[in-house]
Amino acid sequence: MEKPQLRYKGYTAKVRFSAEDGVFYGKAEEISSLVLFEAEREEQLEKAFCEAVDGYLAFCREHGTEPEKP
């Protein structure tokens, strides 16, 4: 089952639900870097995605690399 897209700081992600695992999950789209997130409840998705994007941006800063842009 597919849910609407999330948007944060120029990044977007489509959300899906895994009935087998009982979690919502997604990945930042339009970039090759893996920016993944998951949540057990739908209301936790936006926070999980924002934390994943912020973590990716922090990782890039710490390693002196330019983050990919969609």
Rounded to whole angstroms, the Cα distance separating 21 from 24 reads 9
- Mean pLDDT by runs of 10 across the 70 residues of the chain is 80 94 95 96 95 98 96
Question: Does residue 67 fall inside a structural domain?
Answer: no
Select from 32, 35, 33 the least CA-distant residue to 13. 35
pLDDT score at 3: 58
Of the candidates 50, 55, 39, 44, which has an alpha carbon nearest to the alpha carbon of residue 9? 50
Quote the longest CA-to-CA distance of the chain: 39
Name the domain count of the chain: 1
pTM across the whole model? 0.90
Instruction: Give residue 16's domain range.
Output: 2-62
Please report the pLDDT score of residue 45 as a whole number. Answer: 94
Does residue 70 fall inside a structural domain? no
Which position has the token pair 């948007």?
A: 7
